[in-house]
Structure 1
Amino acid sequence: METQRIIEFPHKNMDKRPRKRPRLTWDMPPALPPPQLSYGFFQVLPAIYCNQELGNGVVPNIAYSSMFYRGVPRNGSPPWRPDDKDGHYVFAIGENLTSRYRILSKMGEGTFGQVLECFDNEREEVVAIKIVRSIHKYREAAMIEIDVLQRLARHDIGNARCVQIRNWFDYRNHICIVFEKLGPSLYDFLRKNSYRSFPIDLVREFGRQLLESVAFMHDLHLIHTDLKPENILLVSSDYIKVPDYKFLARTTKEGSYFKNLPKSSSIKLIDFGSTTFEHQDHSYVVSTRHYRAPEVILGLGWNYPCDLWSVGCILVELCSGEALFQTHENLEHLAMMERVLGPLPQQMVVRADSRRAEKYFRRGARLGWPDSSTSRESMRAVWKLPRLPNLIMQHVDHSAGDLIDLLQGLLRYDPSERIKAREALRHPFFTRDPKRYGYPL
């Protein structure tokens, strides 16, 4: 089998699903020789000033060896620059972020700020630094995230479950959080692989680790609240090419005979900016739309089970290559749930927030979909969905029965009846065959 670094996969039919925030690509770039200008004994990197993007919309990725840094002064500070209009830090490729970190590239951006790839001069390793916008509410949220990250790090023996915080500091009114450098997210891997699903045995390993991470957080009285493939990162960027037998009979396009699979199944959770302690207020809306539990939509309040619903949606997506509920509106979302999982239980409908009950249900009982404002596109999107068992059997060649039973526990409407993380880990889907199927953890 061919082994190589992820640079770019062919991707078409790009997913246009609305997301809560832009996703980050934490891919490790291929090593390239740095551009150098020689001045005496020093090698100086030309500065490339960055606000949001360069002129062509691409920020170059350059991997630097520690040898390069030994020839560069480490204590120089970049000139002070005002933040942009949205409070983002304005930086230049090659300059310092404090004397310890040198900026290599821009990796991503979200509502919180930016993520930069940097070289840690002290530890001589590449890290990812989240630079939070210089706005009060985002600075406050960042300090809460740091508290959660440090709590997780204290208890995560072996550093196997969640992304590790290396350091944090306040730089020119920006909270900066330093993380270990990981590979791409499961969503980015799917996207760059033309949304070709993962084999069921690999999904099993991802699911096992994801549930272990969720159980670990719940044991610490923490609820992630934003589980989704974008927030699950592969530890390594390495992948292998394998024949894609499902496509062999349908296409002759170059490259379609093969699909890419991660060389290692090791994953870690990221993005704890929305993580909530059990004792905090749980009245507001949480989770990215596609992974949002019914109790959140109905205004019934939420707790640990909302994470398990998200896990169920993620496992279906990893098996099929597509989000289970591709929707952007609450009523349509509930209609999709009923199409896949059956009618909502009456006890949940009765307890729903009165404003929502009037909006979503007819006479307080039956879901009011479709209504006069429902588009043909929405109706097609709902009616094309199969029942959960049929959906899984379309994509899973073996272990389908065990996976369906597990998903029926994870996607149970009533959160009080939903399977818990540690119970799910004891499910036959994970315990029936102890072999690792060639995917080292």
Structure 2
Amino acid sequence: MEMSRAGEARSKGESCTTWSALSSEGTASICSKSPQEIMALFGPHLTHREKLELAAMQEVWYFALYNKSEGCNNDGYDDQEQNYILFRHEHLRYRYEVLKKIGEGGQGQVIQCLDHKRNILVAIKILVSPSSSKHEIYQKMELQIALELQGEGSDEDFNVIKVLNIFHFRGHYCIVMELLKESLHEVIRNAGLRRLDMAMVKTYTRGILKFLRHINSRQIVHADIKPENVLVKDTVTGTVRITDFGTSFFVESQPMNVGGTLEYLAPELLLGYSLTCGVDMWALGCTVAELATGRELFRSNSHEDHLPRCIEILGMPPRYMVNGAPDRTQFFDHRGKMFCPGKKRVPGSFPLHKVLKSDDPEFVEFISSCLRVEPAQRPSSLLAQASKEKLKVVEEEETMVEELVEAELRQ
């Protein structure tokens, strides 16, 4: 994905002056120029805000001078959706050179940049400018969790994306991460009709489970496990890294509104229950099914249609779950009959093994075990037993994947 046409024009026209002194080896370094020297060189072309930024900088590694942006927010730096307006080859915090956009969503944009201090390519997630104090709290939680999961060997041992730096620039929080080649979404798309080899599917599954086991021990819910958020570190070994903590939260401080992607949302979220790490297991089942089949497991038309679609494949959830759901009336009438907006969905009429098109009972059972619904709130007399059962399910799933992989390697 490229920058805007306006950005392209500015990067080539007279309205842009880029200055970067390179050493004889070609590595980026402008340590010989202090912020004060750059101020002296380009002072007449700087905005008041840029002058204040430079005055606060201790070092400058890369500098590109552009005319002021023409956005409608944040002194012209942001667009209507509070996204930072990017221009190719501009600087981020006088160190990172913007190269191209590689992803975007409701929470921000992901940019490929050159880190002129370390002379490496990195991925930087630029969050949208927070629209309220509550919005900023959510963003700070994302930063906190991203850092909480870092640690010596956390990338190698638990498949957490490596965070290299976090900074604040022109009203936006920015997360600098290692740059990886592709996501599992791209792997699925590139495989096309050939489908992925089941041995590689199992390898990817083990990698995601390793991550989920780690965050579960920290009482953290990722809340948006899906192929786009699983990045491939090594295409040969199938090593993965999990990224994007924009909807993640600590179980003990669950936000009022939890995000996520429709096709991977667990029923307990739709029904208004408090959430546990079980929603990540549900999303894992959806992700693994997609890896194996090449298509989304629950293709829903809307939020209102998603739960009926899940029930069409898995059958009705437990009666206590329907009766006790805080948002029960959005999906069921007073008799417990399911609303079906648009297409009529008959519970259990399209069973899981048919959707998966698989005759492998172990594979179908694995996906089924991931898709077991277990809300956090249920009758107190059953709560202790439910916790034990859920823990047993997670342990059995991890053992099952390991056994499947070992069996595959022996073949």
Q: Distance in 1 between matches of 2:347 and 2:336?
A: 21
Q: Does 1:231 align with 2:202?
A: no
Q: Does 1:78 align with 2:65?
A: yes
Q: Does 1:407 align with 2:404?
A: no
For residue 277 of structure 1, the aligned residue among 241, 250, 257 is: 250
What per-residue deviation string (whole Å, max 9, x for no partner) do you get for residues 303-349 of structure 1? 11111111111111111111111113344322222221122211111
What per-residue deviation string (whole Å, max 9, x for no partner) do you get for residues 88-125 of structure 1? 32333223323322222222222222221111122221
Tell whether the 8 Å contact from 2:203 to 2:405 is kept in structure 1 after alignment.
no
Displacement of 1:182 after TM fit?
0.8
Q: Distance in 2 between matches of 1:367 and 1:49?
A: 46
- Say which structure, 1 or 2, has more relative contact order (CA 8 Å, 6+ apart): 1
Describe the shift of the 1:433–1:364 C-alpha distance in structure 2 as closer, same or farther (beyond 3 A): same
What per-residue deviation string (whole Å, max 9, x for no partner) do you get for residues 383-411 of structure 1? 9973112333x246xxx221222222211
Secondary structure at 1:235's aligned position in 2? strand
What per-residue deviation string (whole Å, max 9, x for no partner) do you get for residues 278-318 of structure 1? 11135534431111111111122211111111111111111
User: How many percent identity over aligned positions?
Assistant: 25
Tell whether the 8 Å contact from 1:224 to 1:307 is kept in structure 2 after alignment.
yes
Tell whether the 8 Å contact from 2:108 to 2:126 is kept in structure 1 after alignment.
yes
Secondary structure at 1:325's aligned position in 2? coil
Q: Distance in 2 between matches of 1:68 and 1:287?
A: 43
1:431 counterpart residue number: 403
Q: Distance in 2 between matches of 1:222 and 1:295?
A: 17
Larger Rg: 2
Describe the shift of the 1:333–1:112 C-alpha distance in structure 2 as closer, same or farther (beyond 3 A): closer
Q: Does 1:141 align with 2:128?
A: no
Q: Distance in 2 between matches of 1:352 and 1:141?
A: 25
Matches within 5 A, 1:121-200: 121-137=116-132, 139-154=136-151, 156-160=153-157, 161-194=159-192, 196-200=194-198
Q: Distance in 1 between matches of 2:349 and 2:290?
A: 14
Secondary structure at 1:361's aligned position in 2? coil
Tell whether the 8 Å contact from 1:102 to 1:121 is kept in structure 2 after alignment.
yes
Tell whether the 8 Å contact from 1:283 to 1:302 is kept in structure 2 after alignment.
no
Q: Compute the TM-score of the two structures, normalised by the length of structure 2.
A: 0.74
Describe the shift of the 1:83–1:436 C-alpha distance in structure 2 as closer, same or farther (beyond 3 A): farther
Matches within 5 A, 1:331-410: 331-353=304-326, 356-369=327-340, 374-375=341-342, 378-379=343-344, 386-392=350-356, 394-395=357-358, 400-410=360-370
Letter in 1 for 2:228: E
1:110 counterpart residue number: 105
Q: Distance in 2 between matches of 1:134 and 1:306?
A: 28
Describe the shift of the 1:49–1:204 C-alpha distance in structure 2 as closer, same or farther (beyond 3 A): closer
Q: Distance in 2 between matches of 1:329 and 1:70?
A: 49
For residue 85 of structure 2, the aligned residue among 77, 90, 96 is: 90
2:13 counterpart residue number: none
1:317 counterpart residue number: 290
Q: Distance in 2 between matches of 1:420 and 1:269?
A: 22
Tell whether the 8 Å contact from 1:327 to 1:333 is kept in structure 2 after alignment.
yes
1:204 counterpart residue number: 202
Displacement of 1:166 after TM fit?
0.2
What per-residue deviation string (whole Å, max 9, x for no partner) do you get for residues 379-438 of structure 1? 4x879973112333x246xxx2212222222111234454654442112x4225526749
Q: Distance in 1 between matches of 2:142 and 2:258?
A: 18
Tell whether the 8 Å contact from 1:195 to 1:322 is kept in structure 2 after alignment.
no
1:248 counterpart residue number: none
Return 5+ residue gaps in structure 2 as ranges.
Answer: 10-21, 34-60, 70-75, 376-385
Displacement of 1:154 after TM fit?
2.2
Describe the shift of the 1:95–1:435 C-alpha distance in structure 2 as closer, same or farther (beyond 3 A): farther
Tell whether the 8 Å contact from 1:190 to 1:196 is kept in structure 2 after alignment.
no
Displacement of 1:158 after TM fit?
4.9
Q: Distance in 1 between matches of 2:105 and 2:239?
A: 25
Tell whether the 8 Å contact from 2:107 to 2:128 is kept in structure 1 after alignment.
yes
Secondary structure at 1:153's aligned position in 2? coil
RMSD of aligned alpha carbons: 3.1
Displacement of 1:201 after TM fit?
1.2
Secondary structure at 1:233's aligned position in 2? strand
Tell whether the 8 Å contact from 2:62 to 2:94 is kept in structure 1 after alignment.
yes
Tell whether the 8 Å contact from 1:139 to 1:175 is kept in structure 2 after alignment.
no
Letter in 1 for 2:332: F
| Larger helix proportion of the pair | 2
Tell whether the 8 Å contact from 2:111 to 2:125 is kept in structure 1 after alignment.
yes
Letter in 2 for 1:289: L
Describe the shift of the 1:53–1:199 C-alpha distance in structure 2 as closer, same or farther (beyond 3 A): farther
Displacement of 1:205 after TM fit?
0.7
Aligned length: 344
Letter in 2 for 1:348: M
Displacement of 1:214 after TM fit?
0.6
Letter in 2 for 1:431: E
Secondary structure at 2:87's aligned position in 1? strand
Letter in 1 for 2:164: R
